[in-house]
Amino acid sequence: MTAKGTVVVGMSGGVDSSVAAYLLKEQGYNVIGVTMQIWSPQQEDTEENVGGCCSLSAVGDARRVADKLDIPYYVMNFRDLFESEVIDYFTSEYLQGRTPNPCIACNKKIKFEGFLTKARALGADYVATGHYAQLYFDANRQRYVLKKAKDRAKDQTYALYNFTQEQMAHTLLPLGGYEKSEIRQIAASIGLRVANKPDSQEICFVPDNDYKKFIEERVGAEKFKSGPIYDTEGNRVGTHEGLPNYTVGQRKGLGLALGYPVYVVRLDVENNALIVGRDNEVFQKNLIAKDNNFILFDKLTEEMEVEAKIRYSAPPAPGVIKPLENGEVLVEFKEPQRAITPGQAVVFYQDDYVVGGGTIVKGF
């Protein structure tokens, strides 16, 4: 044991978490490497899932890195938890006409809940991951804060807004102060074979990124009920192939020729209907968010000027957040936002700090 304490690093076999483990070891922590096994090996045997973070080859890579760094390494089983908290959530959200973000669910339920609990049970003081975000204790605020990564292009704070103070007190994110290129350099300089491994992009448990096929295989094709497509004036303009096939703002795959570019405006689950319209009809100025979590303070009590980000790839846009009586939050943007999508997260920032975030219920 060292004075800095023991940290369990979630290692995917990729360059980021490998270097995270290395950096923590250099900083004097007692480092233990762990790969979270979250998806069944049978599936991995047949799918060549090179970029994913949970394949069998990931275990092999992570083990090699741990051997190289001379740290103990274990595989922990999270398959049941992952299936119930991430995959079931993922499919059920789509079936209810929403567009889920499984990475956020995984961070919340697996990495910083299940994994942290197991690591603490092992006697570890912290868990660490290779996320690009800065997490530290702010003496002025007397709170742990979450700040955008130095490498803005890689910043992952959007997927981390669910942190509680208790979790943050036991979490280390060592990559937040580095550029990705620096991380690759470090990996190369210490001779890690994974230095040039491509970044993982797709949803780790969905082969070929074909989420429709994935959902169909899990719940059965009969759950994909075809139904009417209406324009925003209520005219029937076509037939859709099951609402899980669509997301707000989508243009491709609608099979409609209405004389103007057509976009998905809304999914009407109650009537199993798809509402389409022109590009300008996909823009909305307000949204309601539920299941909100705040990092800068415990509870939102008065309205606040923020920048809000409505999807991983969207730039933050200025607006005002207001607490509603039922705990939900109203977000009023200064400018209309394109494709506010129920099920996606909205994350609030002030300067570079994460204020908090929630799940989009609806835009209007």
Partner 1 sequence: MRRVYLDHSATTPVRPEVVQLVNKYLTETFGNPSSVHAFGREARKGVETAREQIAALIKAKPEEIFFTSGGTEADNMAIVGTAMANQTKGKHIITTQIEHHAVLDTCKSLIKQGFEVTFLPVNPDATIDLELLKSSIRDDTILITMMHVNNEVGTILPIKEVGQIAKEKGIIFHVDAVQSFGKLPIDVNEMNIDLLSASGHKIYALKGTGCLYIRKGTKIAPLFFGGSQERKRRPGTENVPGIVAFGLAAHLAGQEMEAEAERLTKLRDKLIDGILEKIPNVQLNGHRTNRLPGHVNVSIRYIEGESLLLMLDMKGIAASSGSACTSGSLDPSHVLLAMGIPHEIAHGSLRMTLGKGTTEEDVDYVLEVLPEIVEKLRSMSPLYNSMKLENNEECSKCTQKR
Per CB under 8 A, the segment of 117-125, 132-140, 207-215, 304-312 that binds partner 1 is: 117-125
118 lies in the binding site for partner 1 (CB under 8 A): yes
For partner 1, which is the closer residue by CB, 120 or 193? 120
CB closer to partner 1, 39 vs 211: 39
> 79 or 180, CB closer to partner 1?
79
Q: How many other β-carbons are positioned within 10 Å of the β-carbon of residue 35?
A: 25
Q: Of 4, 75, 182, 258, which lies in the binding site for partner 1, with binding defined by CB under 8 A?
A: 75
Residue number with CB closer to partner 1 (72 or 253): 72
Residue 77 binding partner 1, by CB under 8 A: yes
Nearer to partner 1, 55 or 156 (CB): 55
Q: Are strands 283-294 and 171-172 parallel, antiparallel or unpaired?
A: unpaired
To the query of whether residue 53 is one of the catalytic residues in this protein, the response is: no
**Contact between 195 and partner 1 (CB under 8 A)?**
no
Under the binding rule (CB under 8 A), the answer on residue 74 touching partner 1 is yes
Using CB under 8 A, pick the residue from 3, 70, 121, 235 that binds partner 1.
121
Q: Which of 120, 212, 285, 290 binds partner 1 (CB under 8 A)?
A: 120
Q: Out of 76, 190, 237, 258, which residue is the one contacting partner 1 (CB under 8 A)?
A: 76
Is 54 annotated in the active site? no
Token pair 């719940």 is found at 219
CB of 44 to partner 1, least distance (A): 11
Is 226 an interacting residue with respect to partner 1 (CB under 8 A)? Answer: no
Site string for partner 1, 228-247 (x = CB under 8 A): --------------------
Interface mask toward partner 1 for 24-53; x: CB under 8 A: -------------x---x------------
Measured CA to CA in angstroms, residue 182 lies from 19, 69, 150, 186, 187 at distances of 10, 18, 11, 6, 9
Catalytic positions, written as ranges: 106, 204
Binding stretches for partner 1 (CB under 8 A):
37, 41, 72, 74-77, 79, 117-118, 120-123
